Amino acid sequence: KHRYGRGAAPARISQEAMSRLMNHDWPGNVRELENTIERAVIMARGGVIAADHITFPGQDTRRTVLDVAQALSDGVPLTAFLREAETRYVREALRQAGGSVSVAAGLMGTDAAEAQRRVDESLDG
């Protein structure tokens, strides 16, 4: 419903993503499904929603660590390393906020406009 409001075409969903949705127990209500799909649409950036775009509240996500030593030995420039760290930070804040940019802003200690800018940048990368 949110994407239609901005005049965009509805997102498409892969068969794997649909199976993931269909196989979930949905202990919450319709709002949980709606929030899950909204997060997936945000992460898919208007493209096809893939199975890895479907995340559930309380889901144990794998923690990733940026390996500083490896980045240095690979010759990764500082700006690229920091950009990757920021992208992961913003995406995790958005995930923990259930897709809500205003809640993510609070988690990141910034205002909603700045959070929206950073979310847009992180999703472009």
Q: Is residue 13 within a helix (H) or strand (E), and if so which, with residue range?
A: strand 12-13
pLDDT tens by residue, 55-94: 876 665 555 567 788 788 888 889 988 888 888 888 888 8
Mean pLDDT of the chain: 79
> What is the spatial distance between Cα 83 and Cα 41, in angstroms, rounded to a whole number?
23
For 1-59, the fitting CATH number among 3.40.50.280, 3.40.640.10, 1.10.8.60, 3.40.50.2300 is 1.10.8.60
Q: Give the residue, 44 or 103, on which the prediction is more confident.
A: 103
- The pLDDT of residue 4 is 44
Percent of the chain with pLDDT over 90: 11
pTM of the prediction? 0.50
Alpha-carbon 107 to chain mean position: 14
Q: Which two tokens stand for residue 83?
A: 């950009």
Q: Tell me the average pLDDT across 36-46.
A: 78
Confidence check: pLDDT of 36 > 70: yes
Confidence check: pLDDT of 21 > 70: yes
Q: Which two tokens stand for residue 115?
A: 């959070």
